Amino acid sequence: MTVIVSEPVLNNEGNNNDKNVNGEGPADLAFDGGFVVPESNAFGHSFRFFFDGLRKGERKKSSRAGILQKESYNQTYEFAKKKKEHYGKLDKALMSIWECCELLNEFVDESDPDLDEPQIEHLLQTAEAIRRDYPNEDWLHLTALIHDLGKVLLHPAFGEEPQWCVVGDTFPLGCAFNESIVHHQFFKENPDYNNPNFNTKLGNYTENCGLDKVTMSWGHDEYMYLVAKDNNTKLPKAGLFIIRFHSFYALHRAGAYTYLMNDDDKEMLKWLHVFNKYDLYSKSKVKINIEEVKPYYLSLIEKYFPAKLRW
């Protein structure tokens, strides 16, 4: 089955007074191509900005900084290659998508300044918000539900990896660390920082080689991307792109590393921009009735995935 994904189309009425060009207000919701994301989500709440959340949660701020610091020290090109080879065997478990959702419910992401609840709450809030604003894009609803399932790497059955190896921001390896990466100063302790093969703008890569050629830091994004792709998902390429790069903030917030992108990447980035406004800013205290929405998501899982996946 081939899924044709159209360009994102959003209503931009009522946005004529948005003057902020510093990424701190509603104007930050406009993207190349003239489409914008709604100012409030499907629950009627304003989209919240990520760094506001950082200021509000001192405990989370401290935990997040510690995770990112360890990540900056330890995420090397060789490390990521070895992790990809190890977990790419997909020999840890055989289970369905929904079983993984339930398994992940035992964990809270310590790197997320806005999230103190089990993961399934966040997954369903994101998916339901997108579903109400984009009712015809069922692939995007399912992508939202599954985008964080790679965090099962925290589970003992999957090696009980430390948080810095699973969550946090992702970034390219094999080329210079861009200064837009959060806590960039910590990279000075990374062995790749002074490696002449890796510390130039392009490093191992060529201009516009395509992000599919790039080795990313290891974490839940890369793992879930491998799981979906190698289990022959029927999600469109844009869904896989969102799963793999939703934590790549240096790209979709700061516009860094665009010189590695090809034309396909640029098209799919539009959908990643849309998705991330919901991923980051749809978190709320609104509770989703899991049993009420479960049949809908089970039908999508059946449409786009096999009954059981190798993990």
- Rounded to whole angstroms, the Cα distance separating 254 from 206 reads 21
Which is nearest to 152 in space by CA: 203, 103, 214, 216? 103
**Known binding positions for Fe cation:** 122, 147-148, 220, 246, 279
Give the residue numbers of the binding site: 48, 109-111, 122, 147-148, 151, 168-169, 220, 246-247, 279
The backbone region for 210, taken as left when phi is positive above 0, alpha when psi lies in -120 to 50, beta otherwise, is left
For residues 75 and 291, the answer to whether their CB atoms sit within 8 Å is no
Please, is 311 exposed, middle or buried when counting C-beta atoms within 10 Å of its C-beta (0-12, 13-18, 19+)?
buried
State both tokens at 73: 């020290």
| C-beta separation of 142 from 235 below 8 A | yes
What distances in angstroms separate CA 94 from CA 97, 152, 157, 221, 304, one per listed residue? 10, 13, 12, 19, 17
218 vs 164: CA distance, rounded Å = 9
Query: In one letter, which amino acid is 132?
Result: R
**Which residues belong to the annotated binding site for substrate?**
48, 109-111, 151, 168-169, 246-247
Cα 129 to Cα 139: distance, rounded to the nearest angstrom = 14
CA angle 201–202–207, rounded 5-degree value: 120
Q: Hey, how many other C-beta atoms are within 10 angstroms of the C-beta on 117? A: 16
Residue 309's DSSP bridge partners are: 95
What's the distance, CA 65 to chain centroid? 18
